[in-house]
Every structure is written in C-alpha cells, then in structure tokens.
Structure 1
C-alpha cells in the first residue's frame, strides 16, 4: 500500500537564506523609546503572530495566548502601572547606579502603536503533559520560544520590539482581565523605527557588556566553579 511521506528535505538553507537568519539574530535589539507612530498593517501583525505560533513547544502543548493592545487609552493605563513599579525599581539599585538607571528611557508603552501581552495557560493540556512530567516549567520555556520567534520575525519585517518586564503581575492581570491561573510571560511593544543600535542599547550606554562566549562554554561537565 502506497503512503504519502510526511517528511520534508532537511538540508541546509541556501547561503543567502542562512545569512538572513543569522542577520536577524545578530541585529535584533530591545527597543525602548525609538518607536514611530506609524501603525503596523494587520497583514504584518498576522505574520508575526503566525511566526510566534510556530514556535517549538514541549509535548506540542502550545500553551500561549496573545492579547493585542492598540488603543492609546489602554496603553496609557498600562504605562501608569509600569511607572509605579519602575519608581520602586529605582530604589532597589545601589545609589551609584540609580542615576544611570533613571537615564534609560523606557517609554515604549506610550510610543509604540502596538503592544502584545504573551501569556501561558499552564492548565491547557491537563495535569500530565508529554515532556513536562519531570520539569513542570517546560510550558513557560515553550512560551518564551514563541516570544523569540516573534522577535526575529519582527526584525525581518523592519519592526522594532521591546520587552517590558517592570510591572506587578496583579496590576497587569487586572487591567487586561487575565484570569489568576494564567501566567504572564511577556509584555511587548512593537513599532517601526528609523534606526537600531549597532550593539544592545544597555551595552552602548554602559550598563553592561556582552560576556565572552568562550567563558560560557564547558566540555562534558560543569566547569564554572561551585
């Protein structure tokens, strides 16, 4: 009996396609306030969400949802929640770093024409999920893969993206009517930008530097000390 194969060729990409993938990876940036007000066409938003939805997920659990926020009034309310948490965050840093922290412009929520809240439904596939039997956090890790897919697709489309992490979960859940059982994984700001930093902004502005890869790679076993 003849059966149709469900397999596809697994060879390498062409040089141009391969280089495009690496270009997206190496030039992706976390955009904070350089957004232009120009709206993102619906067709592109759909492509970005489709890219996110094609992320790998352990046990094919696909635990993500995407809340799209375009209304300025909604984004303003979210920004106020962010600002409240950000004011608290300043005091958590040593005094010597507080002025540098305050100098970082974190206005993406207000300036970007589109925000996306990415969530994880940890109950979607029941109590026992293939691949999550011994590591219950795999659904969260899978959702982060969706965020990365979305980020690289945005870079390919010429769209900047910023990941906002300074907020209280309870505040954002109340604003977006998110059930208590649902985990917020990422709040993202998206919009067109004229330019991107050649290096990560926090490196350019002296907050931190990229670690040397050779210091992070071990052979066969852990070699990084106790």
Structure 2
C-alpha cells in the first residue's frame, strides 16, 4: 500500500473480529516499526507491554475499567473494544532522557526535568504508538489508541508489575475490524482544512 493511502485510511477502529488473531509476524512488525520512532538524543526511553492471551487481556480490562461504583460507560464502545486480540501498552521512561542529557556530549551536568520545554519522553513514545497505528493499516488491520484512566494507573501497574519509572501513555488495540465497526460520531465535526490550521510566516 502506498504511504499516502495508509495515512488516508488511518482511523480509530473500535470493534474487532474476536475469531481472527493478529499473526505473529505482523505483531513483530508493529513492534519493530515502533522502535523506529524518533527520540530526543536517541534516548529511546520507551517500553512496550504486549498482551495477547485472553487471560492477560481480561486482566488489563479489569485493571483499567471504571470501578463498580463509578458511572458506566455511556455507550457500548468498550464492549466492542474488548474483542481486540492484541493490546500493546506503550510506556515512557523519563529517567532515560534525564540520564542521556546528563552525558558529556549533551553538555548538561544535571538531570533537571525543568530544562525540558515539553515531556519528550511522552511525545516520543506517542510517535512510536502512531507508527504502530500506521503499520496496522498497512497490514490490513484496524487499530485504536486510547488512554488509561489516571485513577486506574496504579491498578494497572500492580496487575502487570510495571515499575514506577515507566508511565503508560495509552494503549493500542489491534485486530481485524468486526462487522459492527462504524465511524465515530466525532467525525461529524469534519476535518479542519489545511488553510485553517497552518500559519505561514506569521500567525
């Protein structure tokens, strides 16, 4: 598939065929492409938790779903999302960046996080997630990037033994789109045209 077509087709898929697992070779390509993402100072401050078995996926959804006393999901999207046969949780590692930029070739003598205008550890890990989304399209699969609720991060960490130094920036669900997959109502807002969002030379 041509790159322009991959970009054009990329969308968030929220329903999956539970009977069609992601082929192992495709899973590996997703991960191999993810680590091709750019990273400041080539810090590569990321990690990827891969969940494929039904048991592991159930543990993820149990850990990250609203507690029984919380309001239920407003629609059935979560039920359809749970059918995804592959979940990949990209995790950012801030310390890897602070350590890297304290090395002699970078010129900083401390690990002060205030030097960073934005948290590049999260930005770079997000770009790795985007490469997985694009790879899924190129492989004929669907994928979706969604967040882990902040109040459920501790439960997620405890369930999978994730060290405190690693932060989940979200989750990428991957699989073959199901029959019930439909476009998000949010798309009715329309895509903002280039002329509306690009400022050339000055604002």
Q: Same fold (TM over 0.5)?
A: yes
Runs of 4 or more, structure 1, over 3 Å off, are 85-90, 125-128, 130-134, 194-198
Q: Spell out the pairing of 1:112-191 with structure 2 (5 A cutoff).
A: 112-127=84-99, 129=101, 130=106, 133-135=115-117, 137-167=119-149, 168-191=152-175
SS at the partner of 1:127? helix
Q: Distance between the aligned counterparts of 2:9 and 2:85, measured in 1?
A: 22
| DSSP 3-state at the match of 2:77 | coil
1:110 aligns with 2:93: no
Larger Rg: 1
Cα deviation, 1:144-175, whole Å, max 9, x if unaligned, reads: 11011111011000111112314222121122
Q: Distance in 2 between matches of 1:135 and 1:88?
A: 35
8 Å CA contact retained: 1:52, 1:149: yes
- Unaligned stretches of 5+ residues in structure 2: none
> How big is the shift at 1:197?
7.0
Q: Within the alignment, does 1:209 sit opposite 2:181 as a pair? A: no
Distance 2:179 2:35 in 1: 28
TM-score normalised by structure 2 residue count: 0.80
CA distance in 2, matches of 1:211, 1:89: 32
Conservation of the 8 A alpha-carbon contact between 1:75 and 1:109 = no
What are the Cα deviations for residues 17-39 of structure 1, in whole angstroms up to 9, with x where unaligned? 7xx11111111111112334211
What number of residue pairs does the alignment pair up?
191
CA drift of 1:141 comes to 0.8
Farther-moved stretch of structure 1 (137-146 vs 108-117)? 108-117
CA contact (8 A) 2:140 2:176 kept: yes
Q: Report the alpha carbon displacement of residue 89 of structure 1 after superposing the two structures with TM.
A: 6.8
**TM-score, normalising length from structure 1?**
0.72
The alignment partner of 1:103 has SS state of coil
Is 1:192 matched with 2:176? Answer: yes
CA distance in 2, matches of 1:36, 1:50: 24
2:7 to 20, 25, 34: 25
Which is further off, 109-118 or 187-196? 187-196
Q: Note the alpha carbon deviations across 1:83-131, whole angstroms, 9 max, x for none.
A: 31698477xxxxxxxxxx7235123552011111111111124435259
In structure 2, relative to structure 1, the CA distance for the partners of 1:124 and 1:134 (3 Å cut) is: closer
- How much is the aligned-residue C-alpha RMSD, in angstroms? 2.9
Structure 2 CA distance, aligned partners of 1:107 and 1:136?
35
Q: Deviations over 1:162-197 (max 9, x none)?
A: 123142221211222111121111211111125797
SS at match of 1:111: coil
